[in-house]
Amino acid sequence: MRAPLPHDAPLGLYIHIPFCARVCPYCDFNVYARQEHLIPAYIEALVQEMDLLRERLGPVRVATIYFGGGTPSLLPPEAVARLIRATR
């Protein structure tokens, strides 16, 4: 069993964005090409998951947010802003 993190320990948060314009032949990541219509539901699911983690962990300090994927730049700016707000 792990010891609990100190509440003042800064965390790095990785947010996986699995959407791509096309799947590169060398890519081994979980990605979906030309499925941008799924972005709103995916963002909502991420926000809900962050809310659940916040309930379980209590207050934490997120020092760094890493966006990966996929192609995070496919997200509309308002979706990125919503994810950042959800980390606070």
Query: Mind listing the pLDDT tens digit for each residue in 24-65?
Result: 999 888 888 888 899 999 999 999 999 998 888 887 888 999
Domain parsing of the chain, residue ranges? 10-86
E strands in the chain: 10-17, 19-20, 32-33, 61-69
pTM to 2 decimal places: 0.82
pLDDT for position 5: 63
Q: What is the pLDDT of residue 78?
A: 96
Check residue 84 and give its pLDDT: 93
CA dist., res. 17 & res. 20, Å (int): 9
Average of per-residue pLDDT values in the chain: 89
Tokens at 63, concatenated: 């020092």
The answer to whether residue 20 scores a pLDDT higher than 90 is yes
